[in-house]
């Protein structure tokens, strides 16, 4: 059964209603935090992967809740700020952006295209299964490059040999079976710390599989770094055998936890998703939760960052995870904070919220206002504001002057295209809307 939902549907009581007996498999997932689901289901991949390194406390939020209705046989699935795909038992759940109603999930694809740096216009939205596969496959270069920056994965591996150059313990049984009558070879085994192992073999099988898919070669050749990474993996997997794919997948079902090669774990998870895409899920049991999810606030912030960089707006985008670009509230350099974006005299806060209908800045959540005022005061900025998705064109930018500092706070936005004829038309309209947003910042 396939279920289509929109993220953050709390205020839409008619959305997400299903028969109780049809969604019983979702009950173990309901009301659990993202952090808890990640701990309990290693086959569930969440973006951003380092949920504990964000300011939005993503790990404390839930993916969905299941609520009772007036009819005891009907329940309502209430979603949080998370988009993507989940597979459990025979259920396939797709959570779309609430700002993309009436379209084929173009917005989520578009934001991922901008953030993950791929550029393909002819995405298929006719077949949902293919849509999911494209969605996951396009993420492969992002994970591959992140992992390879830590070096090529190495681990100990046992090799069986049968030659005259004995380098390890002799395997008596295998020697008798293979070398009688004796012709000079000896069967022995070695344990070597090598780049050619189950992990790199999994990556190689994924690369070879992608070459057979519609967009595979384009994804693998998306940029020079990706091509270099693919070449390095090929060079270090000399024992690759396409007939061993099932065996390699089985050996990787238990995700690896390495103290140094930390970025290989999400890559391993993604490779398994790609190689077992015919089932959407690859769990060892029917009730295992797996899939790929994106936190809406994180994805919107990263998307806005790409737009600002493309137009050379000069904003600093602090990196909380790497402890870069933060500001200090106190003179002793304590109280570090990480604004979303700032530059000389200007602070911006990305909000994946419905702010487009607000006529005054004072209508924004008080905690969000206090946060931006704190940043503006700390940086002596005279301009500040919020960047939100817009469902309609913004003819007037709501702005209010602060009483104390005389600074100006505004609500900026990027209108989400309503194009439905094709994904390419949607992308072209989004580029025009982005240019309007950048022009508003410059005034």
Task: Tell whether the model's pLDDT for residue 125 goes beyond 60.
Answer: no
pLDDT at 352: 95
pLDDT band, very low/low/confident/very high, at 245 (cuts 50, 70, 90): very high
Task: Tell whether the model's pLDDT for residue 347 goes beyond 60.
Answer: yes
Closest CA to 46 of 264, 294, 302: 294
Q: Which residues contact 322 (CB under 8 A, 6 or more apart)?
A: none
Q: Which residue has the higher pLDDT, 208 or 283?
A: 208
Task: Tell whether the model's pLDDT for residue 78 goes beyond 70.
Answer: yes
- Classify residue 90 as exposed, middle or buried by CB count within 10 Å of its CB (0-12, 13-18, 19+): exposed
Task: Tell whether the model's pLDDT for residue 316 goes beyond 70.
Answer: yes
Q: Which residue has the higher pLDDT, 137 or 364?
A: 364
pLDDT band, very low/low/confident/very high, at 180 (cuts 50, 70, 90): confident
What token pair was written down for 381? 């900025």
Q: How far apart are CA 41 and CA 107, in angstroms?
A: 27
Q: What is the mean pLDDT of residues 186-201?
A: 88
Q: What is the mean pLDDT of residues 35-63?
A: 67
pLDDT band, very low/low/confident/very high, at 281 (cuts 50, 70, 90): very low
Closest CA to 416 of 364, 341, 356, 363: 356
Task: Tell whether the model's pLDDT for residue 341 goes beyond 50.
Answer: yes
pLDDT at 255: 81
CA angle 235, 238, 244 (to 5 degrees): 125
pLDDT at 369: 95
pLDDT band, very low/low/confident/very high, at 133 (cuts 50, 70, 90): low
Q: What is the mean pLDDT of residues 403-416?
A: 90
pLDDT at 292: 80
Closest CA to 440 of 415, 419, 416, 418: 415
Collapse the DSSP code of 89 into the 3-class scheme (helix H, G, I; strand E, B; otherwise coil) and give the result: coil
pLDDT at 131: 57
CB of 108 closer than 8 Å to CB of 82: no
Please report where in the chains the tokens 């998307």 appear, as a residue: 303
Q: Which residue has the higher pLDDT, 182 or 400?
A: 400
Q: Which residues contact 375 (CB under 8 A, 6 or more apart)?
A: 327, 337, 339, 342, 347, 349, 381, 384
Residue 192: phi and psi, rounded to 5, are -120, 145
pLDDT at 119: 63
pLDDT band, very low/low/confident/very high, at 283 (cuts 50, 70, 90): very low
pLDDT at 3: 87
Task: Tell whether the model's pLDDT for residue 383 goes beyond 50.
Answer: yes
Stretch among 50-54, 65-69, 87-91, 130-134 having the lowest mean pLDDT: 50-54
Task: Tell whether the model's pLDDT for residue 206 goes beyond 50.
Answer: yes
pLDDT band, very low/low/confident/very high, at 170 (cuts 50, 70, 90): confident
Task: Tell whether the model's pLDDT for residue 126 goes beyond 50.
Answer: no
Stretch among 6-20, 129-143, 269-283 having the lowest mean pLDDT: 269-283
pLDDT at 366: 95
Average pLDDT along the chain: 85
Closest CA to 17 of 7, 27, 3: 3
pLDDT band, very low/low/confident/very high, at 348 (cuts 50, 70, 90): very high
Q: What is the mean pLDDT of residues 333-349?
A: 93
pLDDT at 116: 79
Task: Tell whether the model's pLDDT for residue 138 goes beyond 90.
Answer: no
Does this model's pTM top 0.95? My answer is: no
pLDDT at 288: 65
């Amino acid at each position: 059964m396939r279920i289509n939902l929109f993220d953050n549907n709390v205020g839409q009581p008619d959305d997400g209603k299903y028969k109780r007996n049809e969604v019983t498999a979702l009950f173990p997932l309901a009301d659990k935090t993202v952090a808890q689901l990640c701990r309990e289901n290693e086959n569930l991949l969440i973006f951003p992967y380092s949920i504990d390194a964000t300011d939005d406390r993503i790990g404390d939020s839930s993916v969905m809740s299941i609520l009772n209705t007036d009819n005891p046989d009907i329940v309502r699935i209430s979603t949080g700020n998370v988009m993507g795909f989940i597979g459990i038992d025979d259920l396939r759940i797709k959570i779309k952006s609430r700002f993309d109603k009436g379209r084929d999930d173009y917005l989520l694809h578009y934001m991922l295209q901008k953030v993950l740096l791929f550029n393909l216009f002819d995405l298929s939205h006719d077949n949902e299964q293919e849509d999911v596969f494209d969605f996951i496959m396009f993420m492969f270069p992002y994970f591959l490059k992140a992992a390879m920056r830590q070096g090529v994965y190495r681990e100990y591996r046992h090799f069986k040999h049968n030659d005259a150059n004995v380098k390890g313990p002799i395997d008596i049984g295998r020697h008798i079976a293979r070398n009688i009558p004796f012709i000079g070879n000896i069967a022995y085994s070695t344990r070597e710390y090598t780049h050619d192992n189950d992990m790199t073999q999994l990556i190689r099988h994924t690369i070879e599989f992608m070459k057979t898919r519609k967009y595979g070669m384009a994804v693998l050749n998306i940029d020079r770094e990706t091509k270099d990474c693919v070449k390095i993996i090929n060079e270090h997997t000399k024992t690759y055998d396409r007939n061993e794919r099932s065996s390699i997948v089985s050996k990787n079902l238990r995700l690896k936890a390495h103290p140094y090669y930390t970025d290989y774990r999400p890559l391993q998870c993604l490779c398994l998703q790609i190689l077992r895409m015919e089932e959407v899920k690859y769990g060892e049991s029917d009730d295992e939760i797996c899939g790929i999810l994106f936190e809406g606030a994180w994805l919107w912030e990263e998307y806005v960052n790409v737009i600002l960089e493309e137009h050379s707006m000069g904003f600093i985008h602090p990196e909380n995870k790497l402890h870069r670009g933060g500001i200090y509230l106190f003179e002793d350099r304590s109280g570090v904070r990480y604004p979303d974006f700032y530059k000389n005299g200007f602070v911006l806060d990305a909000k994946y919220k419905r702010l487009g209908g607000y006529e005054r800045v004072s209508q924004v959540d008080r905690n969000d206002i206090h946060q931006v005022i704190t940043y503006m005061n700390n940086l002596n900025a005279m301009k500040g504001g919020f960047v939100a998705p817009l469902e309609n064109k913004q003819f007037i930018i709501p702005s209010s002057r602060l009483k104390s500092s005389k600074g100006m706070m505004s609500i900026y936005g990027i209108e989400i295209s309503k194009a439905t004829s094709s994904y390419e038309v949607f992308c072209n309209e989004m580029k025009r809307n982005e240019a309007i947003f950048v022009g508003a910042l410059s005034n």
